[in-house]
Amino acid sequence: MACKNCLNNPVIQLTNSSVKLCKSCFIKYFEKKALATIKSYKLVEKGDNIGVAVSGGKDSLTVLSILKKVRDKFTDIKLEAILIDEGIEGYRDKTIIDARKFCDDNKIKLHIFSYKNEFGSTLDNAKNKVALKPCTICGVFRRYLLNKYSRKLGFNKLATGHNMDDEAQSILMNQFKNNAEVSARLGPITGIKKDEKFIPRIKPLYLLTEKEVASYAFLKGLVTTFTECPNSFDSYRGYVRDTLNDMEARFPGTKHGIVNSFLEMLPLLKKHYGKNASEIRTCSECGEPCTGNICQACKLAKKIIS
Amino acid sequence: MACKNCLNNPVIQLTNSSVKLCKSCFIKYFEKKALATIKSYKLVEKGDNIGVAVSGGKDSLTVLSILKKVRDKFTDIKLEAILIDEGIEGYRDKTIIDARKFCDDNKIKLHIFSYKNEFGSTLDNAKNKVALKPCTICGVFRRYLLNKYSRKLGFNKLATGHNMDDEAQSILMNQFKNNAEVSARLGPITGIKKDEKFIPRIKPLYLLTEKEVASYAFLKGLVTTFTECPNSFDSYRGYVRDTLNDMEARFPGTKHGIVNSFLEMLPLLKKHYGKNASEIRTCSECGEPCTGNICQACKLAKKIIS
């Protein structure tokens, strides 16, 4: 079987169809799809100052690479990278090397902030001090630091490497735990017009699967290793991911079905839950936005230090 | 561990909690929950003439048994049973015996209609003649016959034995295949005010799991065998059912999460898709309601006979 578009040897079969593509045609297909997502959901506009949340993994270096292409085409867009070093030995220290290399090679400014400097403890140490799963700690700390420093650095949007698999997992997880309200905060662009203290998030890889993103990163030589976070294996998300991959293998198109039916309902969810949205206050300890008196990050940081 | 409410030996642990109940307390719990569903969603009202779709299996005899209790309490409700004999040897012929016995014992009129009489072929024969899965054939023929004869028999509502597992599976299947519009037709009560030719459906077991319904049917001696349809094993639904059971075992409450988050969104879906609902016409062959010129049942019947 040759590539659908030319006679070269194929390197990938797309997950949602029987189409096979060679390296060059796959890269074109991938970039076209990411750019179409950016255009269709107006993720990037003239004058944007975009921060890209990078970890040094395949997803974040791919989104940075795609946005660099957009910036090179439209000179009135600013682009910088922001990396949160959680302090996960044998994982983050490795991916930081790839992140630095990509940013150096492409002359993109890279800002690094760490749990250690900000909260006085690495994740490796913190997870032994509180009865919380490491993914829960990261859910609070990463989101906090990314928002705080994106605002301080003057970004008006923060781009993340979330792909279709991530989104399909989140949709199902919220559904399985009866958290439809949380799903109203998903989608390819979030946080617009919510509160100026929250930096809107954009997801240019929203309509590309994990397999496609990994293939792109590998074929473009963006990453040297495919390391996965050591904490991800026994998580709830990890189980949902494996179940979903099994379903996709048996019934190709399942992930697309989940995300596309969600996109159809998203405007209804946003309208419905937008009416009852919690009032945004300011944390009395750090001044960051929160819904109560003290933000989750300050509460958690206290527990870790004590 | 004793029953939560008394000191008797427990017979079941509820799927959504760690609560264990003895036979007598479980039966009370089950009936209370079914009655609360009926009340809360106004499934039964004074003057109703209810047909109950029975197959003779655990779900349908349980719903018939529950509705008989409601009828015995409110004498201004009429109750009859309707059974569709698809012609599945070794399965339907066995469950019909239980259906007849229950109806005879409880003086409930039972109306039987068969594929053989209506379409000239049993399901066993039909499935060899068309390139369709048996569940797809039943989806068309059963729905058609139930609606047609419910109307002819003067029922203003048709009760079915759908339980929480059935609903959670349907929600996921529609989602995986990007059929959100079809989900707008789910819920504990459907078809009200849609068109007088469509008999509204009610699902009194909506908030009870398959395990709970099977336990109730067994403890009350409603069925003599737990036979499953021989066609159900290699179906898409069968795979989703097994996946969901596996998730529920690892993460108890998953099914409740799916159904409860769906119930929260259902009014939004109904409002949204109700606006674009297809116009109801009349089948030019049989006069039954349909969206095109000829209904699906007439189209399928022709293929089977030819």
Give how far A185 is from chain B: nearest CA, Å: 15
A232 vs A220: CA distance, rounded Å: 25
- Residues from chain B contacting residue A177 (CB–CB below 8 Å): 253, 257
Q: Residue A135 — very low, low, confident or very high, per pLDDT cuts 50/70/90? A: confident
Residue bearing the bigger pLDDT, A50 or B281:
A50
A183 vs A176: CA distance, rounded Å: 11
Give domain B41-279's CATH architecture. Answer: 3-Layer(aba) Sandwich (3.40)
**What three-state secondary structure class fits A290?**
strand
**Rounded mean pLDDT of B156-180?**
95
Per-residue pLDDT at B129 exceeds 70? yes
CB neighbours of B11 closer than 8 A, spacing ≥ 6?
B21, B22, B23, B26, B215, B219
| Burial (CB count within 10 angstroms: exposed 0-12, middle 13-18, buried 19+), residue A218 | middle
Please provide the DSSP assignment of chain B as one string. Answer: ---SSSSSPP-EE-TTSS-EE-HHHHHHHHHHHHHHHHHHTT---TT-EEEEE--SSHHHHHHHHHHHHHHHH-TT-EEEEEEEE---TTTHHHHHHHHHHHHHHTT--EEEEEHHHHHSS-HHHHTTTSSS-HHHHHHHHHHHHHHHHHHHTT-SEEE----HHHHHHHHHHHHHTT-HHHHTT-SSEE-TTT-TTSPPEE-TTTTS-HHHHHHHHHHTT--S-----TTSTTSHHHHHHHHHHHHHHHSTTHHHHHHHHHHHHHHHHHHHHHHTPPPPEE-TTT--EESSSS-HHHHHHHHHH-
B176, A247 in Cβ contact below 8 A? yes
Determine, for residues B247 and A176 on separate chains, whether the beta-carbon distance falls below 8 Å.
yes
Put simply, whether B106 touches A (Cβ < 8 Å) is no
Q: What is A40-270's CATH number?
A: 3.40.50.620
| Residue B33, phi then psi, degrees to nearest 5 | -70, -40
Poorest-confidence range of A16-20, A155-159, B45-49? A16-20
A86, A123 in Cβ contact below 8 A? yes
Q: What angle do CA B87, B91, B95 make, to 5 degrees?
A: 100
Give how far B181 is from chain A: nearest CA, Å: 9
pLDDT of residue A276: 64
pLDDT in tens, A55-109: 999 999 999 999 999 999 887 899 999 999 999 988 898 899 999 999 999 999 9
Put simply, whether B275 touches A (Cβ < 8 Å) is no
pLDDT in tens, B134-156: 888 888 999 999 999 999 999 99
pLDDT in tens, A223-242: 877 778 888 766 788 899 99
Per-residue pLDDT at A306 exceeds 70? no
Determine, for residues B268 and A264 on separate chains, whether the beta-carbon distance falls below 8 Å.
no
pLDDT in tens, B208-267: 999 999 999 999 999 877 778 888 766 788 899 999 999 999 999 999 999 999 999 999
- Residues from chain B contacting residue A180 (CB–CB below 8 Å): 261, 264-265
- Residues from chain B contacting residue A250 (CB–CB below 8 Å): 239
- Residue ranges of domains in chain A: 40-270
Q: Residue A36 — very low, low, confident or very high, per pLDDT cuts 50/70/90? A: very high
Q: Residue A195 — very low, low, confident or very high, per pLDDT cuts 50/70/90? A: low
Give how far B206 is from chain A: nearest CA, Å: 16
Strands A157-159 and A201-202: parallel
CB neighbours of B296 closer than 8 A, spacing ≥ 6?
B140, B144, B290
Determine, for residues B268 and A268 on separate chains, whether the beta-carbon distance falls below 8 Å.
yes
Which of A178, A243, A260 is facing B247, going by the closest CB pair? A243
Give how far B63 is from chain A: nearest CA, Å: 26
pLDDT in tens, A164-189: 999 999 999 999 999 988 898 899 99
Which of B176, B257, B264 is facing A177, going by the closest CB pair? B257
Give how far A154 is from chain B: nearest CA, Å: 37
Question: What Cα–Cα distance (Å) separates residue B138 from each residue in A229, B115, B125, B145, B178?
Answer: 47, 10, 13, 10, 22
Put simply, whether B249 touches A (Cβ < 8 Å) is no
